[in-house]
Amino acid sequence: MSTTGGSGLIHALLLDGAGGARRLDWDGVTAWKPEDGTLWLTLDYAESDAVHWLEHAAGLDYVVRDALLDPDPRPRAVPHDDDLLLIVRGINANRGSQPEDMISIRVWIEPRRILTIRHRASRSLASIIADLDRGRGPTSVGELTAMLVDRLVDHVVDRVDALHDAIAGAEDDVLSERRGADVRAALADHRRRAIALRRFLGPEREALARLASIPMPWLDAGQRAWISETAERMMRAIEELDAARDRAAVTQEEVASHLAELSNQRIYMLSLITTVFLPLGFVCSLLGVNVGGVPLQDAPWAFWALLAVFAIGVAVQIWMFRRRGWLKRE
């Protein structure tokens, strides 16, 4: 499906009711009437032509129009008689982007027309268009709505699973004693990503649950059950995300505890070494003063005797340390 460059009209598709669709341009959109069939429009809200059409030709209430053009909308599902305002977010799979920088998709659904408003490309929307190209796409507004939220949740589940696997890999590295700075940085990054995802997915779960419970006339029982199951999958994905985030936190604590233990062990050994050599250093300093009266300074055997005293002193200290259990390894 081609995009009309610079016009804000990403695609206009007239569903044929059999899984396919016919493309329209702005003139075709203007001439469309509900009896012609189900119309699916996707617009870029950053383009002035799209904004102008929404404001003057779409026939929308100003409250709905402002919600569709909101720069940072919150996920929600709000009925307006037989119409529905649905705002959801999808995983950002665009090149050079972070998946957690989620794509906002604003949807206005009427019994014979559906508007999807976005700026960045969405893999979920592209997959539905590809299905329509093959003649295997949605046949009605209700099926298109259910398919859209299902594809969005598919990509969310894939992303959560990938993040969960990455955290499990970092956890395995910690358990196998590979505790370098890279592992700590990776855990911190995974945890930040999980927190960012959770911030958006929590409201979206509520929006999907709300959508499944709204008795819209263009949603049949099967489509409502499909959306309900999608909402359950979103809930399970969020539970997995919470578990992955908690595992990352526990693993970070394990790494920090291990590093603190290593530091304490090294400080402990340095303390023991200092305790052993402090009296030896004191004696050597005392005997090295440049004054008269130092005993045995002319005796040829005095040096060796002093070494023997030092050795005995060190042996006594080590024996005392062992007896008190200070040299035992934890």
pLDDT recorded at residue 6: 46
Burial of 143 (0-12, 13-18, 19+ CB in 10 A): buried
What the block records as the tokens of 97 is 């982007």
**All structural domains of the chain with their residue ranges:** 9-257
For the chain, helix, strand, coil in percent to 5 are: 60, 15, 30
Q: Residue 189's pLDDT band (boundaries 50, 70, 90)?
A: confident
Fold designation for 9-257: Beta Polymerase; domain 2 (3.30.460)
For the cut 50, the answer to whether the pLDDT of residue 4 exceeds it is no
What the block records as the tokens of 197 is 């995802």
Mean pLDDT of the chain: 84
For the cut 90, the answer to whether the pLDDT of residue 227 exceeds it is yes
pLDDT recorded at residue 130: 93
pLDDT recorded at residue 87: 93
pLDDT recorded at residue 328: 63
Q: Residue 164's pLDDT band (boundaries 50, 70, 90)?
A: confident
**CA dist 118 to 43, 50, 68, Å?**
6, 11, 9
**Sheet strands side by side (includes 39-44):** 21-23, 9-15, 39-44, 113-118, 103-109, 83-90, 76-80
pLDDT recorded at residue 125: 92
Within 8 A by CB and 6+ apart from 133, the residues are 1, 20
What the block records as the tokens of 123 is 């893999």
Q: Identify the H or E element spanning 199.
A: helix 181-213
Average pLDDT over residues 219-228: 92
Beta bridge partners of 23: 13
- 127 or 288, which is more confident: 127
pLDDT recorded at residue 175: 64
pLDDT recorded at residue 307: 82
Taking only the tens place, the pLDDT of each residue in 271-326 is: 877 877 888 888 777 777 777 777 777 778 877 888 888 888 888 878 887 777 77
Q: Identify the H or E element spanning 41.
A: strand 39-44
